[in-house]
Structure 1
Amino acid sequence: MADRVLMSPPDVGQVEEEYVLQAMRSGWVAPTGPDVTAFENEIADRVGVGHAVALSSGTAALHLGMLGLGVGPGDVVIVPTMTFVASANAVTYTGARPCFVDVSPDDGNMDPQVLRDAISYVQAEGHHVAAVMSVDIFGVCANNTAIAKVCADAGVPLIEDAAEALGATDETGQAAGSFGRVAALSFNGNKIMTTSGGGMLVSNDKELADHARFLSTQAREPVLHYEHKHIGYNYRMSNILAALGRGQLSRLDSMIARRREIREIYHSLFDPLPGIRLFGAEQEQTANCWLSSVVVDREVAGFSASELGEFLNGRNIECRPLWKPMHLQPTFADSLRYVTGAAQGLFESGLTLPSGSAHDDAVINGVTETIREFMAAGA
């Protein structure tokens, strides 16, 4: 393969071009405009919540969401250790500290029982748990109903990091992003849909959403001159990027369907093989199939995930391990944690493969043929 095969490149085309061109021709190229409002309304409808605030990133949504929940210096926010660093970074922006808890080895999402034990542990250590953040990893909804019950029992609010999961649901059909007091979505370039960069805060709490919108525009007071009584942030999404997002959202279901087709191709390849399984397979019918990953038992399969990954990357096919647990990251070396080893095991045995909806069958078949070549070479 001459050109590098990326894991999840943007999938944009004529539909998005028409949306963006229309926005440019309207003259609304400033940070606010009708496409921002329309995009917010369309995302709120898709997720099934009352309010949405278009922002510069999913990280900004997490930050403002926690501020809306009253998280601040001296507090602790419980976060699954298997996640992208943005989940943890956003906690530190508030002045609070993360406590990392372990996950289910089946799907990499927060384990409700481990969460319950962790809350008791952190509180027994004399810390105030200001919030719990669940993460819907790789497009699979966490068991947010059970997690919300644990939070309610402890009197702690839930924020849902649904950055990877737009379009996914749980087994009851409830959409990712609709759990807890507030949730965050991401439209980064490699996500299920993109606005180049960007994110969205979604919530049924109007006061919280309005406060996030206020803070996201530098906390400017509603007077003619520039008046500021609070510290604000330059977090608003531009009208042009919102137009791109509207075009992407109109195609979301077809992009999810394509990623599901790619996942089925991987099923056909890996299901007959001992010691290797598709990650999160039990929930894949309700997932958005953002990324397809495998977990490899080296003793049974005869090869490791890292050996397969090295082979594929050497042939210009992008792949990488699952998220490195946050409690193993140097920047969080001194963090609170309540871990069982499940996330570390997934990091050491997992590999994420090209999964983007922009990939046609020729590209994915080329990936699978390269995997077969690896196995035929004596793996």
Structure 2
Amino acid sequence: MPDTRIYLSPPDVGDLERKLLLEAFDSNWVAPVGPDLDAFEAQVAELIGVRHAVALSSGTAALHLALVAAGVRHGDTVLVPSFTFAATANAVMYLGARPVFIDSTADSWNVDPALVVEELRRRCAKGKPPRAVIAVDMYGQCADYGPLLDACDRYGVALIEDAAEALGASYRQKPAGSFGLAGILSFNGNKIITTGGGGMLVTDDDRTAARTRHLATQAREPLPYYEHRAVGYNYRLSNLLAAVGRGQLQRLGSMIAARRETGRYYRAALGDLPGLSFMPIAGYGESNWWLTCLLVDAERFGASRDRILERLATHDIEARPTWKPMHLQPVFSDCVRRGGDVSAGLFRRGLCLPSGSALSDHDRERVVDVVRAVAAEQKG
């Protein structure tokens, strides 16, 4: 029997999620309201240690509404890591604001706090402070929030945490998602837990939570007829998907453990190959090991990152380059950036290996065998 395709980070759902979904279906709570939605929000808020959680249709919707809560308007600037997925910057553009792209550090792959501080100081000295700063927790590892929070507090600028990839991670023993004005989670199909789609805004700020709920339900006023005093959005998560999320949340610990074991396996099995280096593990927190990523030094390894990708693909194994920085994206070519060499290098040499929580020992062996075969070819 031929081997099946190995995906990068597929959904990992089972009998518990199916049971909860069918119970929600049978209860007829299928709209974006219901007991599972309320319970899912309460459970996530408790896990992260915040007062409020608002379940939404996507992590991008959560980013959009977090920026609205921060007061971002047309013509404003927002500091955004260049090394991230496009949704982080797209949400800024939705509001007619402009992202200013900030480079990463080589020792964590997250946004460089020193560059953020420098840009805040420079812009505030000119009387043109950015309206907000977005930090992204890359590949399940938190950004360095100590200096970021200090700088944002000093200059009176809102900090938003894009923790789309980081549920279950922590920074100095404080959960991902709990930093700044609001945290953003994603439950897309490839994330650490999934609802098939969806996301969440989490916050300790009462006003932010209330405004998010209001805008996410078309900004309908609490009247017996339909009245709207602001433009709203159809952004709420359905009760059915929340039921799936509740089942996933119960398995979060075991799924993180499985991804951690996969990351350690890859490091042990490939760490001796010259020219391969794995994403650094920051000493200030715990990653959720969403994806295991490495860098390929083509000269030392004997083959490029793209050669490894090609060989994996021929063996029906999905792997991907790391994020292409936003300052290199055609759509953002006219945006201001600070630095960029680090994130450009991470993209040029970076590789994400299959890391799903249901990955079998045989699957991991297949991945390792292909990578080692590429290395052996060059020596031969």
User: Structure 1 pair 164/24, CA: closer, same or farther in 2 (3 Å)?
Assistant: same
Identity of aligned residues (%): 50
1:220 Cα shift? 0.3
Give the match for residue 223 of structure 2. 223
Q: Distance in 1 between the 2:4 and 2:283 partners?
A: 33
Give the match for residue 325 of structure 2. 325
Q: Distance in 2 between the 1:152 and 1:184 partners?
A: 20
The reply on whether 1:250 has 2:258 as its aligned counterpart is no
Give the match for residue 165 of structure 1. 166
Give the match for residue 184 of structure 2. 184
Give the match for residue 101 of structure 1. 102
Residues 350-373 of structure 1: CA distance to partner in whole angstroms, max 9, x if unpaired?
100000002111111111112122
Q: Distance in 2 between the 1:285 and 1:49 partners?
A: 19
Give the match for residue 369 of structure 1. 369
Give the match for residue 47 of structure 1. 48
Q: 1:336-347 residue pairs with structure 2 within 5 A? A: 336-347=336-347
Preserved contact between residue 8 and residue 190 of structure 1 (Cα < 8 Å): yes
Give the match for residue 17 of structure 2. 16
1:122 Cα shift? 4.0
Give the match for residue 140 of structure 1. 141
Residues 299-319 of structure 1: CA distance to partner in whole angstroms, max 9, x if unpaired?
322222222112212221111
Give the match for residue 175 of structure 1. 175
Preserved contact between residue 80 and residue 88 of structure 2 (Cα < 8 Å): yes
TM-score (norm 2): 0.96
The reply on whether 1:75 has 2:76 as its aligned counterpart is yes
Q: CA RMSD in A?
A: 1.5
Q: Distance in 1 between the 2:244 and 2:10 partners?
A: 15
Give the match for residue 315 of structure 1. 315
Residues 213-247 of structure 1: CA distance to partner in whole angstroms, max 9, x if unpaired?
00000000001111111000000000000000000
Q: 1:202-213 residue pairs with structure 2 within 5 A? A: 202-213=202-213
Give the match for residue 281 of structure 2. 281
1:261 Cα shift? 0.8
Q: Distance in 2 between the 1:126 and 1:313 partners?
A: 51
Residues 133-156 of structure 1: CA distance to partner in whole angstroms, max 9, x if unpaired?
000010000001221111112221
Of the structure 1 ranges 307-316 and 34-43, higher mean CA displacement relative to structure 2 is found in: 307-316
Alignment coverage as a number of residue pairs: 378
1:126 Cα shift? 6.3
The reply on whether 1:235 has 2:235 as its aligned counterpart is yes
Q: Distance in 1 between the 2:376 and 2:276 partners?
A: 16
1:267 Cα shift? 1.0
Preserved contact between residue 75 and residue 127 of structure 1 (Cα < 8 Å): no
Preserved contact between residue 140 and residue 283 of structure 1 (Cα < 8 Å): no
Residues 2-35 of structure 1: CA distance to partner in whole angstroms, max 9, x if unpaired?
4321100000000100110111111101111111
1:298 Cα shift? 2.2
Preserved contact between residue 303 and residue 378 of structure 2 (Cα < 8 Å): no
User: Structure 1 pair 125/347, CA: closer, same or farther in 2 (3 Å)?
Assistant: farther
AA aligned to 1:289 is W
Q: Distance in 1 between the 2:274 and 2:201 partners?
A: 42
Of the structure 1 ranges 276-285 and 321-330, higher mean CA displacement relative to structure 2 is found in: 276-285
SS of the equivalent of 2:244 reads helix
Give the match for residue 296 of structure 2. 296
Preserved contact between residue 119 and residue 129 of structure 1 (Cα < 8 Å): yes
Preserved contact between residue 301 and residue 375 of structure 2 (Cα < 8 Å): no
Preserved contact between residue 140 and residue 280 of structure 1 (Cα < 8 Å): no
Preserved contact between residue 140 and residue 284 of structure 1 (Cα < 8 Å): no
Q: Distance in 2 between the 1:169 and 1:285 partners?
A: 5
Give the match for residue 335 of structure 2. 335
AA aligned to 2:65 is L
Q: Which runs of 5+ in 2 are unaligned?
A: none
Q: Distance in 1 between the 2:284 and 2:72 partners?
A: 33
Q: Distance in 1 between the 2:230 and 2:199 partners?
A: 23
1:50 Cα shift? 0.7
Of the structure 1 ranges 174-183 and 266-275, higher mean CA displacement relative to structure 2 is found in: 266-275
Of the structure 1 ranges 189-198 and 313-322, higher mean CA displacement relative to structure 2 is found in: 313-322
AA aligned to 2:298 is R
1:120 Cα shift? 3.2
Residues 170-222 of structure 1: CA distance to partner in whole angstroms, max 9, x if unpaired?
1x211100000111000000000000000000000011101000000000000
AA aligned to 2:206 is K
Preserved contact between residue 78 and residue 132 of structure 2 (Cα < 8 Å): yes
Of the structure 1 ranges 126-135 and 115-124, higher mean CA displacement relative to structure 2 is found in: 115-124
SS of the equivalent of 1:74 reads coil
Residues 282-332 of structure 1: CA distance to partner in whole angstroms, max 9, x if unpaired?
459710000001112223222222221122122211111110000100000
1:87 Cα shift? 0.2
1:116 Cα shift? 1.1
AA aligned to 1:101 is I
Give the match for residue 155 of structure 2. 154
Preserved contact between residue 56 and residue 237 of structure 1 (Cα < 8 Å): yes
Q: Distance in 2 between the 1:276 and 1:124 partners?
A: 43
SS of the equivalent of 1:254 reads helix
AA aligned to 1:242 is A
TM-score (norm 1): 0.97
Q: Which runs of 5+ in 1 are unaligned?
A: none
AA aligned to 1:84 is F
AA aligned to 1:278 is F
The reply on whether 1:116 has 2:117 as its aligned counterpart is yes
Preserved contact between residue 102 and residue 340 of structure 1 (Cα < 8 Å): yes
Q: Distance in 1 between the 2:283 and 2:372 partners?
A: 26
AA aligned to 1:80 is P
